[in-house]
Amino acid sequence: MKKLLLLTIPVLLLFSCRTSMKKASAWLDAVQGEPKINIEGEWSNEEWGTGVFIQKGNRITGALGSYEVQGAVNGEKVYLLLGYYNTFYYAAILEPYKNILIGKYSDSKPKNDHLRKDALPITLSKVREIK
């Protein structure tokens, strides 16, 4: 019984340290602005899978692969939070180039409109418009 308890505590601590999507979405409130682009549609990435984004004004909702997406647009920059079961996992900052969105993502909470220096590249390709 003690062994089971000792194994369970680190797992519980790991998951309790995660940030909720609600707390992480304060970042979206801070970076949102007047949108100059509309990214509504179906997007795809070989690693992340296919997703659908719905844009209303400067806010984005949807999914990418198995992650729920919340986002904001400011000018031509797209700010996304990716979560699973209301738990924040990744943040991404993207910009359009033709029919793709290019940027970086990180597993840490962003500061202002910057991700950590070790953020990884991500490219999303537009599959189709949603009507």
CATH at 109: 2.40.128
Domain presence at residue 50 = yes
- Asked if pLDDT for residue 53 goes beyond 60, the answer is yes
93 lies in some domain? yes
Q: Which domain holds residue 51?
A: 20-128
Q: Is the pLDDT of residue 13 over 60?
A: no
42 domain residue, yes or no: yes
pLDDT band at 1 (very low <50, low <70, confident <90, very high): low
| 9 inside domain | no
> How high does pLDDT run on average in the chain?
87
The answer to whether position 15 is within a domain reads: no
In angstroms, the CA 38 to CA 34 distance is 11
pTM above 0.75? yes
Return the pLDDT at 9: 46
6 within some domain: no
**Residue 7 belongs to some domain of the structure:** no
- The residue ranking higher by pLDDT, 111 or 22, is 22
Rounded mean pLDDT, 42-71: 97
Of 88, 92, 42, 40, the residue nearest 67 (C-alpha): 88
Residues 6+ apart with CB under 8 A from 59: 28, 32, 70, 71, 72, 73
Q: How confident is the model at residue 94 (pLDDT cuts 50, 70, 90)?
A: very high
In this prediction, residue 126 carries a pLDDT of 96
Q: Would you say residue 10 lies in a domain? A: no
Report the number of distinct structural domains present in the chain. Answer: 1
79: amino acid identity, one letter: Y
Which of 23-32, 96-105, 110-119, 122-131 has the least mean pLDDT? 110-119
